[in-house]
Amino acid sequence: MKIDPLLEDLESDDTARVEAAAAQLAEHADAVVPTLLQRVAGAKRTAELEPVMRALKRIGPAAFDAVLAAWRRKEIQDWEAGRFLGVFDERSADQYAAMAADPHYGTSGKGFQGLYRLRTDSEAGLRALVECYARSSLVPFKAADYARMMHDSFRPRLRSLRRDPAASPGIRRGAMAALVAGGGVDALDDRDRAAIERLIRVKIPHETPSLPSSTLSGWWMAVPGASYEGVFEALGLHDRRPVTVAAGVAASEGREIRVPGPDGKDRTAGRVFVTPELDGWRLILGSFELLVGYDPWYDMIETVERVSLHCGQAQIFFLDDAGGADIWMVAENGRVIRRYAAESDPEWEGDPLPWETLAVDDEDFDPEYDDTPANAGTTGARSACAYLSVDPDGVGPDTEVRGHGWLAVTDPGAGHGAFPGTLRI
């Protein structure tokens, strides 16, 4: 069979010629597709693959199977397989679902990419999602995207599957995980939500807290444990819920979302973690831009002073090793009393605190030649935090923990269900 005339017909404006050529090529796809793939062997750019991609799309499901078989035989590279398998239309929806259900991470991921692109609402797609989460292994990120996209449609069916006595425990577990991936804990029914809340309460007292390291970069706030309640009003936090430290840290580092505002315009919302009391202090973790602002200097001053009005005292720490920033501030009752900032030359403001080691006290200090302000300290944020409140890097088995952490959101209309990803409990 001569392929080139049929390929020319695929580019025709005559619908009948196109359909006839596609049907004939599909009938011999096992021979046609390898020939097409050989023509672009050694290609380095997507543009070189585009003629073949157009032909594969026209041929349809038969070409899909042939490309998948060639990929599994390693006759094409992963990036090429991604381009080729990304061109098929609704006729291949079930094939994408079968790929998504494959236990191999890469194959499953490409299957979910296809389901997501086609917005496939099918039992096969739902079942692939459930089986993927039932395996309790690494889940392709596109599976979570697909779960969120199809959540409104899948939720009733997933809840039903969750309660189906004929379903295996693994499938019921997968249905629950898919519900949470699509809509958060809010997607669960009352029975499952109550079970999750009980599990959280059981795990909290036995958890050894661990906080993110400030290596390379990081920021956080600290407030006294006795007066921390004021932080929710000071930072405009809403819908707080008890949470383990592991889940709170993961949520605070997660993606933000866009939510509709009262004026009809979308706003950005994020999740904020207020830790349990750690050696007498509570730390606040979340998006710097949402909680503080976009000006790393004046917004920090305004924020730490505002929080101190509500909590009596507040501290903020900001580190960026790549940019050279090293900042800490202490505010009491609405006013910064001590501030250290270093980017190129360190600057100090306020009277030194009792624990600080001053530059003028160094044995090598020479007042005749050293031009150093009287209040110049020597301690950056990584050391100061341990004196002022809590060193996040030092939190662990020996830390005295009281109470539990809270997970809150920055927008009153956001809720907890719309945020992507699942959380460790």
Is the same domain home to 76 and 173? yes
164 CB neighbour count, 10 Å cutoff: 12
Distance CA 120, CA 124 (A): 9
Distance CA 210, CA 392 (A): 8
CB 177 within 8 A of CB 422: yes
pLDDT attached to residue 105? 93
Is the same domain home to 372 and 256? yes
Output the six-digit token pair for 173: 């577990």
Is the same domain home to 251 and 361? yes
pLDDT attached to residue 317? 96
> Mind listing the pLDDT tens digit for each residue in 384-423?
999 999 999 999 999 999 999 999 999 998 888 777 766 6
Distance CA 205, CA 2 (A): 73
Distance CA 248, CA 227 (A): 20
Domain limits for position 52: 3-196
Q: Is residue 424 part of a domain?
A: no
pLDDT attached to residue 21? 82
Output the six-digit token pair for 84: 């080729």
Q: Is residue 54 part of a domain?
A: yes
> Mind listing the pLDDT tens digit for each residue in 138-178?
899 899 999 999 999 999 999 999 999 999 999 999 999 99
Q: Is residue 415 part of a domain?
A: no
Q: Is residue 416 part of a domain?
A: no
User: Which is higher by pLDDT, 269 or 31?
Assistant: 269
Confidence of residue 239 (pLDDT cuts 50, 70, 90): very high
Is the same domain home to 302 and 264? yes
| Total domains, the chain | 2
Is the same domain home to 84 and 21? yes
Helix (H, G, I), strand (E, B) or coil at 335: strand
159 half-sphere exposure, CB direction, 13 A CA radius: 15
Output the six-digit token pair for 308: 């101190």
Q: Is residue 152 part of a domain?
A: yes
Portion of the chain with pLDDT greater than 70, in percent: 93
CB 393 within 8 A of CB 214: yes
187 CB neighbour count, 10 Å cutoff: 23
Q: What's CA 291's distance to the chain center, in Å?
A: 18
265 CB neighbour count, 10 Å cutoff: 8
Q: Is residue 334 part of a domain?
A: yes
Helix (H, G, I), strand (E, B) or coil at 297: coil
* For range 72-97, the mean pLDDT: 95
The conformation of residue 342, written as its DSSP 8-state character, comes to: E
Return the CATH number at 157. Answer: 1.25.10
* Helices and strands per DSSP (H, E), number in the chain: 18, 13
pLDDT attached to residue 255? 85
* For range 260-287, the mean pLDDT: 92
- Mean pLDDT for all residues in the chain: 89
> Mind listing the pLDDT tens digit for each residue in 322-336?
778 899 999 999 999
Output the six-digit token pair for 360: 């003028």
Confidence of residue 29 (pLDDT cuts 50, 70, 90): confident
User: Which is higher by pLDDT, 187 or 3?
Assistant: 187
Q: What is the pTM of this model?
A: 0.76
Which segment of 43-52, 147-156, 224-233, 399-408 scores lowest on mean pLDDT? 43-52
Q: Is pLDDT at 203 greater than 60 in this prediction? A: yes
421 CB neighbour count, 10 Å cutoff: 16
Which segment of 41-45, 350-354, 369-373 scores lowest on mean pLDDT? 369-373
Is the same domain home to 124 and 257? no
Which segment of 23-37, 291-305, 341-355 scores lowest on mean pLDDT? 341-355
Is the same domain home to 14 and 67? yes
Is the same domain home to 256 and 180? no
pLDDT attached to residue 178? 94
* For range 239-257, the mean pLDDT: 92
Confidence of residue 366 (pLDDT cuts 50, 70, 90): low
Distance CA 339, CA 350 (A): 7
